[in-house]
Amino acid sequence: MLTIATWNINSVRLRAPMVARFLSEAKPHVLCLQEIKCRNGEFPSSVFRDIGYKHMHVVGQKGWHGVAVVSKVKLEPVDAPDLCRHGEARAAAVKIDGIEVHNLYVPAGADIPDPAVNPKFAHKLDVVSRMRTVYKKRKGQGPLVLVGDLNIAPGEHDVWSHKQLLDVVSHTPVETDGLKAVIKDGGFVDLARAHRPDPEKVFTWWSYRSPDWTVNNRGRRLDHIWASADLAPASQAKAFEIHVPCRSWERPSDHVPVVAGFRV
Q: Domains along the chain?
A: 2-262 (3.60.10.10)
Q: What is the predicted pLDDT for the residue at 263?
A: 96
Q: What is the predicted pLDDT for the residue at 211?
A: 77
Q: In angstroms, rounded to a whole number, what is the distance separating the alpha carbons of residues 179 and 176?
A: 5
- Give the predicted TM-score (pTM) of the model: 0.98
Residues with Cβ < 8 Å from 101, sequence gap 6 or more? 4, 30, 32, 69, 75, 93, 94, 95, 144, 145, 147
Q: C-alpha distances in angstroms, 190 versus 30, 71, 179, 197, 232?
A: 19, 23, 11, 10, 9
Whether residue 109 contacts residue 63, with contact meaning beta carbons closer than 8 Å, is answered with: no
Q: Which residues of 86-122 are buried (b: 16+ CB within 10 A; e: fewer)?
A: eebbbbbbbbbeebbbbbbbbbbbeeebebeebeebb
Q: What is the predicted pLDDT for the residue at 26?
A: 98
Q: What is the predicted pLDDT for the residue at 264?
A: 87
Question: SS3 for 124?
Answer: helix
DSSP codes joined into one string, 65-115:
--EEEEESS--EEEPPP---TT--S-EEEEEETTEEEEEEE-----S---T
User: pLDDT digits over 157-167, tens only?
Assistant: 999 999 999 99
Q: What is the predicted pLDDT for the residue at 210?
A: 82
- The residues of the chain scoring below 70 in pLDDT are none
Q: What is the predicted pLDDT for the residue at 161?
A: 97
